[in-house]
């Protein structure tokens, strides 16, 4: 077909979409643009004003990350993009990795900025790096060798002091250039979006303060600002401010708050003084989102912080990053607790440092994210690339798990990690500009892997609408705020929330939608409460517990088949807070739960024909978390 015909066809489609508005605009735009991707200039890409849900991963590592290199990963950013686009790439142990659920809509390769590309250079004959005495240890190939090689970097990563003999910027410059060029090469507006990104790997005293820095577009600095420049995230934010002033817009996304030992969301600043307005503004300007779940567990909440949340005991990582040492301080390490701190601080100082939204990602280190429980290849290359190496199947020298645990107390670290999370973004089109704007306004959600789609709006006097129609969505945008937004508290008025969620057809059906509320009382003390607002199978919400009655969904642990007749494809609800108090600062976010399904470790065990590891959960309830909507005092008037 001639180009002009395609363009004509495209504009005909676009016109039709706008004209038919009500019935045809949802989602259709996304696929229509795919047809004409090569011929259509960027500005011609169709926009859906009611927005589509796009799914992607903002956190993938390649061989340019020093640790991935040690895990024998030898795949490049190009290969990471190939995988995300649905292609097949090799795991370092030789087998193929490919998504079962089809391509992602976007990807950011976020390699560690510290020693970026340096290990490859150490292993390349003729470079200055290769002359370092321990360069020969940088291609270990086995467990002992990996830990030995890590030994050379540990001190530097914990202190932020650069290793003098590896301080040349030659390799990082070249790897950063590769990161940029690869992202530009694979960015295909309307079909597949790439972001230029890196990870700021601050780990003071093994407490995880890692952030991914995501650039808005192709305007990027010559080199990333790393934890070797400063471990203090405040310095990173000042640098981001300066970059923005130069036209290099970016945001930072903290991850694994669960491994921070309470230091990710503190009440104090780096210098130990209480958080002030300047800090709160600096932080929320640069960190509008956090990564709420990934392979190394979820950072929403945990049972000790939320004793009344019966779903909090899910994919917990309670140790320091990559270490057996146990976390002792959970406050300040989880999102729900931080949101509560945020509104407490807001009450005192007038500004909220923790008014962030949610995304999820993988943190995969093999250029690929293991999002699917039944298609799992773990995180750290040759360390956990087979079921035996990740503790889901016992090694052949044992006859059963009892014998295995006679030799060791705890399951291996990798076995306690979950499958990767996905970011959901509500945007007008699949382009950098549209997706980045959505991330800025926090119209985002995180899932623990499945492509669950969920929308939430809040407002006063919302008309009777259904979010299953374009008219309803349009009215919700016109009369309310979407997830990530704020409402001003008004005397005598109670806000309402409308929520809809749709299942991933390749995962389990939905079981329930919940709203999680946090608020501050007159004494400045914060509280939380969970309300189920929609139940599958026409279930009834019990008035004493605010929970759906049990829908009886189960999983056959011999086959991993789940109940076919339980759960819903779609759930929708309209909800008013029965305990609303217009004098209190509050936030509300949505959690959607699937019916139970097999965890990856159970799939591994079934395929190897052994009992699942008794120390691991056999089934999980996959979930999605929306960014919150806040209710705030009107301080401007």
Partner 1 sequence: MRIVREPLLQFLCIALILFTVNRLVNGPEKYSASQQITISSGQVEQISEQYRLLAGRAPGEQELRALVDDFIDEEIAYREAIALGLDTDDTIVRRRMRQKLEFLVRDQQSYNDPSDEELSIWLAAHATNYHQTERISFRHVLASHDKRGEHAQKDAHSFRQALEAGAEFEALGDTSMLPPSLSLSTQDNIASLFGDAFAKAVFAAQNNEWSAPIQSAYGYHLILITERIPSRPSTLNEIRETLKADWMAAKKQEARNKYLENLRQRYTVNVEWPAKHSSEQ
Please give the angle made by the CA atoms of 9, 12 and 14, to the nearest 5 degrees.
Answer: 110
Q: How far, in Å, CA of 429 to CA of 70, rounded?
A: 38
CB of 373 to partner 1, least distance (A): 17
**Which of 321, 515, 315 is CA-nearest to residue 419?**
315
Q: Which is nearer to partner 1, 36 or 213 (CB)?
A: 36
Regarding 27 and contact with partner 1 (CB under 8 A), the answer is: yes
One DSSP character per residue, 138-184 reads S---SHHHHHHHHHHHHHHHHH-PPPGGG--SHHHHHHHHHHHHHHH
Evaluated on CA atoms 343, 344, 346, 352, the torsion sign reads negative
Q: Which of 26, 148, 238, 529 binds partner 1 (CB under 8 A)?
A: 26
Stretch that binds partner 1, among 21-29, 341-349, 491-499, 521-529 (CB under 8 A): 21-29
Q: Which is nearer to partner 1, 103 or 221 (CB)?
A: 103
Q: Which residue has the tokens 């790096």?
A: 129
357: left (phi over 0), alpha (psi -120 to 50) or beta: beta
Range 400-414 burial, b when 16+ CB lie within 10 A, else e: ebeebbeeeeebbbb
Q: Which of 112, 451, 512, 517 binds partner 1 (CB under 8 A)?
A: 451
What is the C-alpha radius of gyration for the chain, rounded to an integer number of angstroms?
24
Which two three-digit tokens encode residue 114?
């510290």
Q: How far, in Å, CA of 224 to CA of 209, rounded?
A: 16
CB of 224 to partner 1, least distance (A): 18
Stretch that binds partner 1, among 30-38, 367-375, 584-592, 607-615 (CB under 8 A): 30-38
Q: Which is nearer to partner 1, 177 or 469 (CB)?
A: 469
Q: Where are the alpha helices (DSSP H) in 441-505?
A: 470-479
Q: How far, in Å, CA of 405 to CA of 389, rounded?
A: 15
CB of 386 to partner 1, least distance (A): 7
Regarding 38 and contact with partner 1 (CB under 8 A), the answer is: yes
Which two three-digit tokens encode residue 332?
């300040």
CB of 440 to partner 1, least distance (A): 24
**Which of 206, 224, 253 is CA-nearest to residue 117?**
224
Regarding 41 and contact with partner 1 (CB under 8 A), the answer is: no
Helix then strand count (H, E) for the chain reads 14, 26
Stretch that binds partner 1, among 356-364, 414-422, 562-570, 586-594 (CB under 8 A): 562-570
Beta-bridge mates of residue 532:
514
Q: Which is nearer to partner 1, 26 or 547 (CB)?
A: 26
Regarding 177 and contact with partner 1 (CB under 8 A), the answer is: no
Q: How far, in Å, CA of 426 to CA of 440, rounded?
A: 11
Which two three-digit tokens encode residue 563?
């109940």
CB of 508 to partner 1, least distance (A): 10
**Which of 493, 525, 491, 577 is CA-nearest to residue 343?**
525
CB of 613 to partner 1, least distance (A): 17
> Are the CB atoms for 305 and 246 separated by under 8 Å?
no
Q: Which is nearer to partner 1, 130 or 263 (CB)?
A: 130
Regarding 121 and contact with partner 1 (CB under 8 A), the answer is: no
Helix (H, G, I), strand (E, B) or coil at 459: strand
Stretch that binds partner 1, among 64-72, 119-127, 276-284, 518-526 (CB under 8 A): 119-127
Regarding 595 and contact with partner 1 (CB under 8 A), the answer is: no
Q: Residues 517 to 556: which contact partner 1 by CB under 8 A? A: 536
Q: Which is nearer to partner 1, 96 or 128 (CB)?
A: 128
Q: Which is nearer to partner 1, 1 or 304 (CB)?
A: 1
Q: Which of 468, 527, 576, 583 binds partner 1 (CB under 8 A)?
A: 468
Q: Residues 477 to 516: which contact partner 1 by CB under 8 A? A: 500, 502-503, 505-506, 509
- Say how many residues make up the chain: 637
Stretch that binds partner 1, among 281-289, 299-307, 329-337, 387-395 (CB under 8 A): 387-395
Q: Which of 395, 524, 552, 614 binds partner 1 (CB under 8 A)?
A: 395
Which two three-digit tokens encode residue 547?
């929970």
Stretch that binds partner 1, among 26-34, 56-64, 442-450, 481-489 (CB under 8 A): 26-34
Regarding 170 and contact with partner 1 (CB under 8 A), the answer is: yes
Stretch that binds partner 1, among 101-109, 442-450, 456-464, 490-498 (CB under 8 A): 101-109
Regarding 428 and contact with partner 1 (CB under 8 A), the answer is: no
CB of 87 to partner 1, least distance (A): 12
Stretch that binds partner 1, among 128-136, 250-258, 306-314, 607-615 (CB under 8 A): 128-136
Based on the number of CB atoms within 10 Å of its own CB, is 270 exposed (0-12), middle (13-18) or buried (19 or more)? Answer: middle
Q: Residues 194 to 213: which contact partner 1 by CB under 8 A? A: none
CB of 505 to partner 1, least distance (A): 4
Which two three-digit tokens encode residue 53?
């849900």
Regarding 593 and contact with partner 1 (CB under 8 A), the answer is: no
Q: Which of 248, 570, 610, 616 binds partner 1 (CB under 8 A)?
A: 570
Q: Which is nearer to partner 1, 102 or 274 (CB)?
A: 102
Q: Which is nearer to partner 1, 284 or 563 (CB)?
A: 563
Q: Which is nearer to partner 1, 103 or 322 (CB)?
A: 103
Regarding 390 and contact with partner 1 (CB under 8 A), the answer is: no
Stretch that binds partner 1, among 211-219, 367-375, 483-491, 569-577 (CB under 8 A): 569-577
Helix orientation angle between 335-349 and 277-286, rounded to the nearest 10 degrees: 140
Q: Which of 15, 88, 96, 124 binds partner 1 (CB under 8 A)?
A: 124
Helix (H, G, I), strand (E, B) or coil at 515: strand
Q: How far, in Å, CA of 258 to CA of 276, rounded?
A: 24
Helix (H, G, I), strand (E, B) or coil at 290: strand
Regarding 165 and contact with partner 1 (CB under 8 A), the answer is: no
Helix (H, G, I), strand (E, B) or coil at 34: helix
> Are the CB atoms for 341 and 354 separated by under 8 Å?
yes
> Are the CB atoms for 73 and 22 separated by under 8 Å?
no
Which two three-digit tokens encode residue 84?
């995300």
Regarding 34 and contact with partner 1 (CB under 8 A), the answer is: yes
What DSSP designation does 282 have? H
Q: Which is nearer to partner 1, 242 or 468 (CB)?
A: 468
Regarding 313 and contact with partner 1 (CB under 8 A), the answer is: no
CB of 325 to partner 1, least distance (A): 27
CB atoms closer than 10 angstroms to residue 325: 11
Range 360-382 burial, b when 16+ CB lie within 10 A, else e: bbbbbbbbbbbbbbbbbbbbbbb
Sites of contact with partner 1 (CB under 8 A): 13, 23-24, 26-28, 31-32, 34-35, 38, 86, 101-103, 123-126, 128, 130, 136, 139, 168, 170, 386, 388-389, 395-396, 451, 453, 466-469, 500, 502-503, 505-506, 509, 536, 568-571
């Amino acid at each position: 077909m001639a180009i002009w015909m395609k363009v004509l066809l495209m504009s005909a489609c676009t016109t039709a979409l706008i004209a038919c508005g009500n019935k045809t605009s949802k989602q259709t735009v996304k696929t229509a643009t795919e047809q004409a991707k090569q011929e259509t200039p960027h500005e011609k890409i169709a926009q859906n004003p009611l927005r589509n849900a796009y799914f992607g991963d903002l956190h993938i590592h390649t061989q340019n990350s020093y640790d991935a290199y040690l895990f024998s990963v030898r795949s490049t950013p190009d290969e990471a993009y190939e995988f995300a686009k649905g292609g097949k790439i090799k795991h370092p142990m030789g087998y193929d990795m490919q998504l079962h659920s089809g391509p992602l809509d976007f990807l950011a390769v976020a390699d560690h900025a510290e020693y970026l590309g340096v290990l490859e250079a150490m292993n390349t004959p003729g470079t200055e790096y290769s002359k370092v005495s321990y360069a020969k240890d940088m291609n270990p190939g086995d467990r002992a060798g990996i830990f030995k090689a890590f030994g050379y970097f540990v001190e530097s990563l914990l202190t932020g002091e650069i290793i003098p003999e590896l301080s040349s910027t030659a390799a990082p410059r070249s790897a950063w250039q590769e990161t940029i060029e690869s992202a530009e090469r694979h960015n295909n507006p309307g079909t597949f979006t790439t972001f230029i990104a890196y990870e700021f790997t601050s780990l003071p005293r093994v407490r995880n303060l890692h952030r991914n820095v995501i650039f808005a577009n192709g305007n990027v600095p010559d080199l990333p600002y790393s934890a070797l420049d400063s471990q203090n995230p405040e310095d990173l934010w000042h640098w981001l401010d300066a970059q923005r002033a130069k036209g290099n817009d970016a945001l930072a996304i903290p991850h694994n708050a669960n491994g921070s030992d309470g230091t990710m969301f503190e009440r104090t600043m780096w210098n130990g003084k209480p958080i002030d307005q300047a800090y709160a503004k600096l932080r929320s300007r640069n960190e509008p989102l956090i990564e709420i779940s990934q392979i190394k567990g979820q950072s929403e909440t945990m049972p000790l912080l939320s004793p009344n949340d019966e779903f909090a005991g899910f994919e917990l990582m309670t140790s320091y990053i990559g270490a057996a040492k146990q976390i002792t301080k959970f406050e300040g390490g989880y999102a729900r607790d931080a949101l509560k701190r945020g509104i407490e601080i807001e009450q005192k100082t007038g500004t909220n440092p923790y008014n962030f939204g949610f995304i999820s990602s993988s943190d995969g280190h093999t250029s690929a994210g293991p999002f699917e429980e039944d298609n799992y290849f773990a995180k750290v290359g040759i360390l956990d690339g087979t079921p035996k190496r990740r503790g889901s199947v016992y090694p052949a020298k044992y006859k059963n798990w009892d014998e295995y645990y006679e030799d060791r107390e705890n399951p291996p670290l990798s076995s306690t990690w979950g499958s990767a999370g996905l970011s959901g973004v509500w945007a007008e089109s699949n382009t950098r500009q549209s997706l980045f704007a959505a991330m800025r306004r926090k119209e985002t959600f995180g899932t623990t892997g499945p492509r669950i789609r969920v929308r939430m709006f809040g407002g006063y006097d919302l008309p009777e609408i259904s979010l299953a129609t374009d008219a309803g969505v349009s009215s919700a945008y016109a009369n309310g705020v979407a997830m990530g937004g704020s409402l001003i508290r008004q005397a005598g008025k109670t806000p309402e929330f409308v929520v809809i969620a749709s299942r991933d057809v390749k995962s389990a059906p939905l079981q329930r939608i919940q709203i999680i509320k946090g608020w501050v009382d007159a004494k400045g003390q914060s509280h939380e409460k969970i309300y189920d607002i929609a139940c599958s199978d026409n279930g009834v919400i019990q008035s004493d517990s605010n929970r759906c009655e049990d829908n009886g969904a189960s999983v056959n642990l011999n086959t991993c088949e789940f109940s076919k007749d339980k759960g819903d494809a779609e759930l929708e609800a309209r909800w008013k807070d029965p305990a609303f108090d217009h004098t209190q600062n509050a936030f509300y976010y949505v959690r959607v739960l699937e019916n139970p399904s097999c965890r990856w470790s159970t799939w591994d065990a079934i395929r190897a024909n052994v009992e699942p590891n008794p120390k691991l959960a056999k089934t999980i309830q996959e979930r999605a978390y929306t960014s919150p909507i806040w209710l705030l005092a009107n301080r401007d008037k």
